Every structure is written in C-alpha cells, then in structure tokens.
C-alpha cells in the first residue's frame, strides 16, 4: 500500500507514487535539506541485523555512468515502526521504456536511439564486474531523450573467476 503524499521520511517528503516492483516501491520525493526532487526507493527490511537490501544501492553506485541511473545515497529509516532501506536516486522524469511503449508508437529512429543507450550502461556495469540479470523495458528509465539502466536488485558482483 503506497504511503500518502506528504508523508515525511527523514529529510524526505513524499510528493507522489511512481511505481512498485516485486521488492519495493518508488516515490517522487522532495529532499528538504537541499530543496530538490529525487526518486526514493523503499524496500522493507527482512532482517534488521543484516541490511542486504542496501546491496542493490552499493552495486548500482559502482555503476556510475551516463547510461545508468545515479544513486545519490542509501540509508535505513523506520517508517511507522518498520525498517526500510531508502535508496535516493536520480529522478527519471520520462518514466520507463515500458510505459512509453504502452502509451505511444515510437519511430524507428527514436527506438534505435533509446535502445542503443542501454548497451553503453551495461558495458560499463560489466567492466565494474556487475551482471545486471534483469534487462527489460520496465528497467530502462528515460529522462529527456536519454535511456538509463536501473533496478540493480537482482544484480551480482562477479570476480575475475566468475562468481
């Protein structure tokens, strides 16, 4: 159940619900400390002694690239007595490629432009030893005419020997 607009979570104030996945929800929030909007992903924490939900933020932060959604910070906050991993991310105002495809027809030129952004982000992740494992239109987010890879929740870090 989404949190209502106006809910305060630390320095953030919820402005709207963006969407939900299998593991958490994403909100448009106002960071009151710096007076700026961002996206805040909230993941309920299964075991408060081991914040494995923050691994996603750590992995995605390693993949800083113009074609990967930027992680600003990650922390654990209690909301209504429940601990949540709070991942502050770049706000992608264009939504997902999936929602764009559902709303409108894309010209070949536009589709090729968007889809060619993704391999650059993916190559960068691979060079950092990260395997994404969940490439799909819903995990490709848009801002302006740029597509960026997001949702590193199923990703794994690989060493030089594979795992």
Catalytic residue among 47, 88, 134, 151: 134
Distances (CA, A) of 77 to 26, 45, 57, 80: 15, 10, 15, 10
Q: What is the C-alpha separation between 158 and 163, in angstroms, rounded?
A: 5
Q: What is the C-alpha separation between 104 and 93, in angstroms, rounded?
A: 16
Angle ∠(140,138,76) on CA atoms, nearest 5: 85
Contact 149, 135 (CB under 8 A): yes
Residues 6+ apart with CB under 8 A from 95: 141, 142
User: Could you confirm whether 35 is annotated as catalytic?
Assistant: no
Backbone angles phi, psi at 101, to 5 degrees: -65, -30
H helix intervals, the chain? 55-62, 97-103, 108-127
Active-site annotation, residues? 134
């Amino acid at each position: 159940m989404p949190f209502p607009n106006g809910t305060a979570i630390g320095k953030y104030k919820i402005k709207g619900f963006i969407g939900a996945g299998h593991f958490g929800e994403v909100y448009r929030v106002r960071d009151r400390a710096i007076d700026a909007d961002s996206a805040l992903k909230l993941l309920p924490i299964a075991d408060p002694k081991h914040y494995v939900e923050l691994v996603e933020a750590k992995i995605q932060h390693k993949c800083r690239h113009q074609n990967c959604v930027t992680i600003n910070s990650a922390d654990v906050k209690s909301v209504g007595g429940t601990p949540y991993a709070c991942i502050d991310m770049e706000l992608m105002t264009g939504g997902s490629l999936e929602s764009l495809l559902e709303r409108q027809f894309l010209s070949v030129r536009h589709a090729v432009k968007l889809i060619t952004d993704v391999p650059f982000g993916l190559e960068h992740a691979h060079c950092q030893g990260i395997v994404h494992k969940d490439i799909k239109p819903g995990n490709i987010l848009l801002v302006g005419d740029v597509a960026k890879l997001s949702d590193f929740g199923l990703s794994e870090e690989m060493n030089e020997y594979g795992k």
